[in-house]
Every structure is written in structure tokens, then in C-alpha cells.
Structure 1
Amino acid sequence: MRCVSSQTVAQSFAWLLTDDGQAVLSRAVEASAEPGYDELALQGELRRGTRPERVALAITQAELRRRATGKFGELAARMYFTPDGLEQATRLSVSTHRASRLQAAVTQSVVDLGCGIGGDLVAFARAGITTAGVDLDPLRVAMARANLAALELGGAVQEADATAVDSSPFDVAFADPARRSGAGRSFRVEDWTPPWSFVESLLRRDACVKVAPGIPHAIVPAGVEAEWVSDHGEVKEAALWSGRLATDARRATVIGDGGLATLTDADDPGTEIVGVGTLGGFLYEPDGAVIRAGLVTAVAAGVQGRLLDSKIAYVTSDEAYRSPFARSYRVLEEVPYREKQLRAALRARGIGTLTIKKRGVDGSPEQLRKRLDLHGEDEATLVLTRARGRGIALLVKPF
């Protein structure tokens, strides 16, 4: 198979930005949104006046824009992507939060060392920060420039090796190392590009580095803040903040329909104060960002509660609270934990539709649901977990 260089693809992308290219792209976007869309028919239509590789590029962009709506909202309709670039790009809500932190720290300028298709550049520029980006891939550089231009935002982007760039003229350096090896996505810092050694050197100045949510707490350098961010209950990333940008050791930030909320180690009294206690009338399931940040006991303190078990991220309380940092449930009753007795108890209550949540116990909820073989008319939520080392099963109701 013939290898097509990134430079060649970048040249084809340049055509897409011309009037002819924009007309073809516009038609591809329009057609792909029509009921009964037929890609082969669209290819035949567009190829009557355009080279096949350019048609393929336009149709791919139309599809990527549709997929990008989940990350970039209405901005996606004017932006440009590669499949990998879209996958690796930060969700707009998360990058906007990051840009807001820089804005609050009175950041005048930021350099993005490995900017990709420019998702973070867009957020920085929208926050009014003077923005520059570099990347080794000429296509991504071209797309980052085009994305800034399409959204009428300022900023400079050039092709360069991030590790060779002098970032000192900028207030803040930002980096998002690629976390892939030859075998695919990697969770080992040794496989990052740029490498962990570069990240450590960057964190000696005012900087922010986007990292995987699974980063071990132990490798975070002293004096660097680690922030875990979730968006609508899904943990999206962690970020390391250094220099004057570091305000706490650990932080959990949750983004939801109600806005943004943040919790830090300053809010955490620790297990010794919160303690492990008996089941109360309410159960709280901490957000994934809270769990990653090790701030479950901070949630317990916030609901005047306690842990069910010292090793499991469930909190119980005698009081009802709504917390942005946890899902809240009213405990209806404790039911038998052993499967045979559990089946009988659920059938006796007429339960046919069962949502199963579990932490700290073995087994698959899907397989258990099949084995229970329920046929009632009522619905229920079942929590399987451990309390003080023993297995328990709870029927709960979200509130």
C-alpha cells in the first residue's frame, strides 16, 4: 500500500480551505445530515467535478464534525479534525475550565507544546489569553491555524519540536503528552511523547500538563497540584499545575448541568476524623474525580457522614444532602446478600427491572441480573458492596 505523507495530506487540506474546497465540504455536510444519507451516492455526485482524494477528505470532515459535536458543541460545525486529533482533543467544557483557571491567575500568554488540532488553543484564545502553539505534525499545525481562523480567534501556530522550544517568554507553558506506544494507548509515563523527563522539567516553572486520570499519586512532584476533572459523571483527565498555579495538593473538579464545583485536600479531614460506621438512612456514591483524587472522606465530611468500609468509596449518613460530588440515594432496606436468598427477596417484592451497582465485590452485574431471572413489574436499584469487611446488599432510591 502506498504511504501518503503527512505533508501531502496537509497540502490536500489546504485545498479544503479554498472556495472550491469549502463548497464541496458544505455539500458533504448538508448531504450527510439528510434522511436516508447514501455516502456512495454522494461520492459519485462530488467526483463529477472533484478529485477522489479531495472528495474523501471532505466527506471525512463532515463525519468528524458530526462526531465532534459531543466534545465541542456548536463550535464543531466550523472546525477541522483528524480522527486521532479529535479523539485526543480535550472536551470544550474541560478546556474552558482550564483556561478559566489561567485567566483567574492573571495569565497574559500561554504556549501549547504539542497543540494537536488546537482544541486547547481555542479555549485559551476564547479566554482572552495571548496564545501560541507548536506541533511536529504539519497537518495538525494547519488544522490548528484553520480552527483559530474559523472561530475568529487570535493565535500563532508553527511546526516545531516541543522539547526544543524556549517557553520562557510565555507566562505559562501547557503540554498534553501523547500517551501511546507502538502497542496502542499506554498508561506508563515512560511511553509518553514528550517523555516524563520533559514533563518534570516543565513543572519546575509555571505550567499545566494534561495527564491520564490513572496517574499514580506517588509520581506527582512535590509542590505540584494534581487535579482530576469529570464531566457529567465521567472522569475525563487529570492535570498537573505547578509554580504559582498550584494552590492545593489534590483537587477534584466536577462539571455538570448545574455548573462547576471543586473540592480540595483542604476540605478533607481524613479517615481518622470521619471514621467508619454503621449504615445510615442515606448512601452517597462519590464522583470518579473525587475517588481518583483520594477525597472520599471530604465528601463524607460534607454530608455529615462516615465511610461504610475503610477501603471502599461509599459514604453513608443519617442526613439527606444533594452534593455535586456524589450521587445520593435513600436506603430503603437491606436485603439478603447471598444470591439464592436475594433472588427470593426481589421476586417477593415484584421487582423485574433491576439496576445493579457494585463496589468492592466480585462478579458481573450483567451476569448476576441474568441469573436472578426476575419478571416482576416494579423497578429497583440494588447496591452490592462491603461494610466493615462483610458483604451487604441494599435496595436504594436515587433522590
Structure 2
Amino acid sequence: MSSPAADALDPVLTPEGWELLNSLPPYDEQTALQLNLRLRDAGHPPDRVASALTQSRLRAAGRQKFGEFAARMLFTHEGLQQSTRLAVAARHAQRFRSAGLDRVVDLGCGLGGDALAAASLGLSVTAVEADENTAAAATMNLHPFPEANVQHGTAEDFAATFDLLQAGAPRGWGLWLDPARRDPHAAQETAAAGPTRLWDPESFSPPLSFVKALANTGTPMGVKLGPGLPHELIPSDCEAEWVSVDGDLVEVVLWFNALARPGVRRAATLLPEDGSAAVELVSDTDFGAGVQAEPSGREGLFGVLHEPDPAVIRSGLIAELADSLGAHLLDEHIAYFCADEPVTDPDYRLSRQFRVLEVDSFNLKTLKAWVTEAAVTSLEIKKRGVDVVPERLRQQLLPKKRPKGPKRHATLVITRLGEERVFAVVEPL
């Protein structure tokens, strides 16, 4: 975790600091120390050099989320970790636009990623941020967009100013909230782990009760939360959409009122990094009330094994996906299912597919014999429904010295069929 001094923006918010930052070469960890010394020798104050180099490093890291925009943005360490990827933010903004809204009020804008996406679509944006340092970064990041303005303050104060909790938002407005879910002052935090994640919804900032009260006014709104949010905390009057980017589960968004799609209670959305079209799976049923697929029993591990995308798993749509493919769950509590043949549609990305090559009862002796006989030199181990630590098992199975001959990689899936633990040798498709 960074110190407040490392995140200080004041030195680069001067004309001299901004010019220095934008004149730096692409960040290189190997040459950063020498560059630091050269800049100081050239007469730049130490705090300006430290701040500029910190921003240069964060800009390099920010390219993963913001692409080319990162080259002119300002960041904080925590803000970058929690910010929305630009491709995801663009989908958020498109939903506001499709609903016919003309202003997005971003209550808790952070570094301004969602506000930037909304402004890029021509929507007017009011971005509100409680942290002064982060608000300063958002102001610079949104400076190229005259449609956007940043206000330093809390979501609660803004709501009180416009009487949002009583009268609702003015016509044409939509609210976007990204409640802070980390406590920077928690006693158990460490420099390695960073701030502690909060799971008490009333400890969010703003709290979930405030979010519900805003939604009860009928105001169109979206609320970004951590994807691990327990299902029982999700209000009954919203659409819950889990979003993953190339298999990385990044968020759940609760959509209320005009921003919720009619007839959609749960959704899993997969966004590819390459910018191609999203893939969705939706359901109109509540959690635990969808398709009840029957487990197929011992003979169920056959053909093609499917590992659903994390968004499908968290949205509770595994059985619906299996049913749509004519497949069978191995167990109603395990997120694997099997089908006779692979799905060949090139746009299909709702699960990873593996050809099942062989299946046997799971025990260490049998597995070690298989690894030795097959001359396996590296292993990917996947598991569900069994108490196995893949890293430890890999150390137990692979020989201490790599055998002579060509390298051979293998993928193992360890799971349960009824009460029996089994392993399957599979081939990724």
C-alpha cells in the first residue's frame, strides 16, 4: 500500500510539475533510479521528481484499464486498483444513454473512469468525490470533457443539497454509485494486503441503506459493488448483473428502475479484452428459483467438461447454461457440467471446454503412477468440490528432477461424483 506522501498530487498540479510529468519517457523500473537522480541534478525539487515518477509508473499500470487515455491521466494507488476498466465503464454509460437520460451523476467517482466513459458518449456528467486528493485527480482526468464537472463532497451531502431522498432526481438524471468497500483505518491491514475489504453493507460509504432509499424514489440508478456480494444482500427490486472480462470477474452492478431491463433479475455478462461483442446469459427468476438440472451420477464425467465463466457461477446461472446446451451437471453443488460434444460456435465464451481423456478414482498413488507413466513435466490442476490444495498436490506428483526427453504438459480436474472423489485427464479445447 502506498503512503499518503507517495500519492501526493500537489507537486504535479503546478505548471512546472505537469510539464515535467508529461516530458518523461515511458516508465522503466530498471532506469527509474538513474532518472530520479538526473532530474534532481537538473534542479527539480525532490518532491516534484518523486510525484512525477510515481505518476509515470501508475500511468504505465493504468494502460491495462484505460488504454491510451492513461497517458494523460492522474492516479492514486488505491484509486487505480478500484477503478472501473474503460471497456466496462463504456457499457455502463451506454445503458444510461439507451434509457434516454441526458445527465449522469456519479456519486463517488473515484478517478473518474465511469464519468469519463459517460462524457465520451456526450452525456452531461456531475462527478462527486469525498476524498480531496482523488477529486483533484478526477478533475484533471475529466478536464478534456466540457460536459463533465467534479465536485469535492460526499454522496450524502449532494443528495441533501438536491433533496434526492425525498423528491428523487430531476427528470433526465441517472445516478451512478460506487460505494467504498475498504476501510483504510482497519487495524488488521498490512502493507502487503492493503485496506481491509468490508462485508457489512452499512459500513460501505455510502451505506447500502442509503442506496436503497435513493432507489425507492424511482430514480434510475446503477450501483457497482464487489462481485462477491452475498445474494441475500441484493434488493428484490433490481437487476443484478455480474461482469467478467476475459474470465476475470470484476463487479456486480445493481440496476434500478428505468435502468433495469424488464424481465431480467439475474445476468452474467462476459466482455472480451479485444473489444468484440459481449456475451450474456440472463434469467427472470430469483436466486435459487431457476432451472433445476438433475445431476447425472457416476457416469456423468464424459465427453466434454464445461467450466462456467465466473460471472455465470456468481449469478447462479450454471443450471440454466447447462440446460441451454443439453448438458448435465455433475452435482447440483459443483460448478462443472458435461456434454457429448463441444460447442463450436466461434462466439461462444460462456464456459471453458475440456475434452475428457480418461477418468479414475482419486488417490495419490494412482495419480503419481499416471504422472510417471505419461512422463508429465508440468501440471495444471483444477478442482471443485474436494479438499485439495493444487500447489501442494503438484509438488507431490511431479518428480524432483525433470525426466529426460520432451516436455509434456497435462491438465487434471479433480472433483466429486456423488461421494466418490475422481480425477480426470482433460485437454483444453
TM-score of the pair, normalised by structure 2? 0.85
1:398 aligns with 2:428: yes
1:279 corresponding residue in structure 2: 301
SS at match of 1:32: coil
Moved more, 281-290 or 98-107: 98-107
User: For 1:243 and 1:47, how far apart are their aligned partners in 2?
Assistant: 59
Distance 1:212 1:4, change over 3 A: closer
1:63 corresponding residue in structure 2: 57
SS at match of 1:98: helix
2:234 corresponding residue in structure 1: 220
Match of 1:363 among 388, 392, 398: 388
1:265 corresponding residue in structure 2: 283
Match of 2:174 among 169, 172, 175: 172
Match of 1:93 among 87, 93, 110: 87
1:373 aligns with 2:398: yes
1:321 aligns with 2:343: yes
Moved more, 104-113 or 346-355: 346-355
Distance 1:305 1:334, change over 3 A: same
- CA-to-aligned-CA distance 1:59-108 (integer Å, 9 cap, x gap): 11111101111111111111111111111211112111211222222221
1:140 aligns with 2:140: no
Match of 2:333 among 291, 311, 325: 311
Distance 1:5 1:39, change over 3 A: closer
1:14 corresponding residue in structure 2: 13
How far did 1:219 drift?
Answer: 1.6
How far did 1:385 drift?
Answer: 0.7
Moved more, 312-321 or 187-196: 187-196
Matches within 5 A, 1:1-399: 9=8, 11-15=10-14, 18=15, 20-27=16-23, 29-30=24-25, 32-33=27-28, 36-46=30-40, 48-150=42-144, 152=145, 154-165=147-158, 166=162, 167=164, 168-169=169-170, 171-181=173-183, 182-183=185-186, 184-204=196-216, 205-247=219-261, 248-256=264-272, 257=274, 258-266=276-284, 270-272=290-292, 274-277=293-296, 278-322=300-344, 323-374=348-399, 375=402, 377-399=407-429
The aligned amino acid for 1:288 is P
- CA-to-aligned-CA distance 1:29-53 (integer Å, 9 cap, x gap): 31634x9514254244246333221
Contact 1:232–1:255 at 8 Å: present in 2 too?
yes
- CA-to-aligned-CA distance 1:225-255 (integer Å, 9 cap, x gap): 1111111111001111000211211111111
SS at match of 2:36: helix
SS at match of 1:174: strand
Contact 1:24–1:46 at 8 Å: present in 2 too?
no
Distance 1:36 1:320, change over 3 A: closer
TM-score of the pair, normalised by structure 1? 0.91
Contact 1:336–1:342 at 8 Å: present in 2 too?
no
* Number of aligned residue pairs: 389
Contact 2:104–2:125 at 8 Å: present in 1 too?
yes
How far did 1:153 drift?
Answer: 5.5
The answer for unaligned runs of 5 or more in structure 2 is 187-195
The aligned amino acid for 1:208 is G
Contact 2:247–2:310 at 8 Å: present in 1 too?
yes
User: For 1:196 and 1:36, how far apart are their aligned partners in 2?
Assistant: 45
Distance 1:372 1:58, change over 3 A: same
User: For 1:237 and 1:79, how far apart are their aligned partners in 2?
Assistant: 23
- CA-to-aligned-CA distance 1:366-387 (integer Å, 9 cap, x gap): 1111111245542211100112
Question: What's the % identity of the aligned pairs?
Answer: 37
How far did 1:147 drift?
Answer: 0.8
How far did 1:390 drift?
Answer: 2.1
User: For 2:78 and 2:208, how far apart are their aligned partners in 1?
Assistant: 22
SS at match of 1:324: coil
SS at match of 1:30: coil
> What is the alpha-carbon root mean square deviation over aligned residues?
2.4
How far did 1:326 drift?
Answer: 0.3
Structure 1 or 2: more helix by fraction: 1
How far did 1:5 drift?
Answer: 9.5
SS at match of 2:57: helix
How far did 1:346 drift?
Answer: 2.7
SS at match of 1:385: strand
Contact 2:123–2:147 at 8 Å: present in 1 too?
no
